Amino acid sequence: MTNLMDRFELDRRKLLMERSVPGRIGVSLPPLDVPVAPMPDDSLLRHDLEMPEISESELVRYFAQISQFNFSIDHNFYPLGSCTMKYNPKVNDEFASLPGLAQIHPLQPESTIQGALKLLWRLQALLSGITGLPGVSLAPMAGADGELAGMLMIRAYHLDRGDDQRKSVLIPDSAHGTNPASAAMAGFDVVTLPSDSSGNTDLEALKAAADDNLAGLMITLPSTLGLFDTNILEVTRIVREAGGLVYGDGANLNAILGRVKLGSLGFDVVHSNLHKTFSTPHGGGGPGSGPVVAAERLAEYLPAPIAARIDDGDGHVRYGFDTPPKTVGKLGAFHGNFGSLARAYAYILAMGKEGVHQTSEDAVINANYILSQLRDDYDLPYDRGCMHEVVLSARTLKRRHGVSALDVCKRLIDYGIHPPTMYFPLIIEEALMIEPTETESKETLDHFIAVMKAIATEAKDEPELLHDAPHNTPNTRLDEARAARRPELRWRRASSS
Ligand SMILES: *Cc1c(COP(=O)(O)O)cnc(C)c1O
184-208 residue pLDDT tens: 999 999 999 999 999 999 999 999 9
Position 290 scores a pLDDT of 96
Give the Å distance between the CA of 436 and the centre of ligand 1. 17
Residue 146 CA, closest ligand 1 atom number:
9
Q: Is there an atom of ligand 1 within 6 Å of 436 CB?
A: no
Q: Is there an atom of ligand 1 within 6 Å of 288 CB?
A: yes
Position 283 scores a pLDDT of 64
Position 366 scores a pLDDT of 97
- What is the torsion angle, in degrees rounded to the nearest 10, for the CA atoms of residue 126, residue 145, residue 221 and residue 72? 90
Sheet holding 390-393, edge to edge: 390-393, 431-434, 421-422
Position 69 scores a pLDDT of 84
Give the Å distance between the CA of 474 and the centre of ligand 1. 31
Q: Is there an atom of ligand 1 within 6 Å of 83 CB?
A: yes
CA atoms within 13 A on the CB side of 372: 10
Give the Å distance between the CA of 142 and the centre of ligand 1. 8
Complete DSSP assignment for 34-49:
S---PPPPGGGS-SS-
Buried/exposed 457-494: b ≥16 CB within 10 Å, e otherwise: ebbeeeeebbbebbeeeeeeeeeeeeeeeeeeeeeeee
Q: Is there an atom of ligand 1 within 6 Å of 178 CB?
A: yes
Does residue 28 surpass a pLDDT of 90? Answer: no
Q: Are 290 and 145 in contact (CB under 8 A)?
A: yes
Does residue 497 surpass a pLDDT of 90? Answer: no
Q: State the pLDDT confidence band at 48, using cuts at 50, 70 and 90.
A: confident
Q: Is there an atom of ligand 1 within 6 Å of 176 CB?
A: yes
Q: Is there an atom of ligand 1 within 6 Å of 407 CB?
A: no
Residue nearest atom 14 of ligand 1, based on CA coordinates: 251
pLDDT in tens, 125-170: 999 999 999 999 999 999 999 999 999 999 999 999 999 999 999 9
Residue nearest atom 1 of ligand 1, based on CA coordinates: 83
Contacts of 333 (CB under 8 A, 6+ apart): 106
Does residue 398 surpass a pLDDT of 80? Answer: yes
> 90-350 in CATH: which number?
3.40.640.10
Residue nearest atom 2 of ligand 1, based on CA coordinates: 251
pLDDT in tens, 455-471: 999 999 999 999 999 99
Q: State the pLDDT confidence band at 494, using cuts at 50, 70 and 90.
A: confident
Mean pLDDT of 305-324: 95
| Residues 171, 103: Cα–Cα separation, whole Å | 42
Position 303 scores a pLDDT of 98
Q: Is there an atom of ligand 1 within 6 Å of 433 CB?
A: no
Residue 224 CA, closest ligand 1 atom number:
13
Residue 290 CA, closest ligand 1 atom number:
7
Residue nearest atom 3 of ligand 1, based on CA coordinates: 143
Q: Is there an atom of ligand 1 within 6 Å of 421 CB?
A: no
Does residue 83 surpass a pLDDT of 80? Answer: no
| Residues 393, 409: Cα–Cα separation, whole Å | 12
Residue 144 CA, closest ligand 1 atom number:
9
Give the Å distance between the CA of 161 and the centre of ligand 1. 30
Position 286 scores a pLDDT of 64
Nearest Cα residue to 453 out of 388, 416, 408: 408
Residue 142 CA, closest ligand 1 atom number:
7
| Residues 135, 42: Cα–Cα separation, whole Å | 61
Mean pLDDT of 85-96: 88
Q: Is there an atom of ligand 1 within 6 Å of 222 CB?
A: no
Give the Å distance between the CA of 176 and the centre of ligand 1. 7
Mean pLDDT of 218-228: 96
Angle 65-69-70 from CA coordinates, rounded to 5°: 120
- What is each CA distance from 67 to 5, 79, 89, 489, in whole angstroms? 21, 21, 21, 17
Domain boundaries, the chain: 90-350, 353-482
Range of lowest pLDDT (76-90, 204-218, 403-417): 76-90
| Residues 430, 428: Cα–Cα separation, whole Å | 6
| Residues 345, 370: Cα–Cα separation, whole Å | 31
Position 285 scores a pLDDT of 59
Position 58 scores a pLDDT of 94
Query: If residue 323 lies in a helix (H) or strand (E), which one and from where to where?
Result: none
Q: Is there an atom of ligand 1 within 6 Å of 220 CB?
A: yes
- pTM attached to this predicted model: 0.91
Position 1 scores a pLDDT of 60
> 353-482 in CATH: which number?
3.90.1150.10
Helix axes 338-374, 114-131, angle to 10 degrees: 30
| Residues 13, 400: Cα–Cα separation, whole Å | 38
Q: What share of the chain has pLDDT > 90, as a percent?
A: 81
Does residue 86 surpass a pLDDT of 80? Answer: no
Give the Å distance between the CA of 459 and the centre of ligand 1. 32
Collapsed DSSP state (helix, strand, coil) of residue 418: coil
Give the Å distance between the CA of 280 and the centre of ligand 1. 14
| Residues 332, 334: Cα–Cα separation, whole Å | 6
Angle 182-184-186 from CA coordinates, rounded to 5°: 70
Q: State the pLDDT confidence band at 496, using cuts at 50, 70 and 90.
A: low
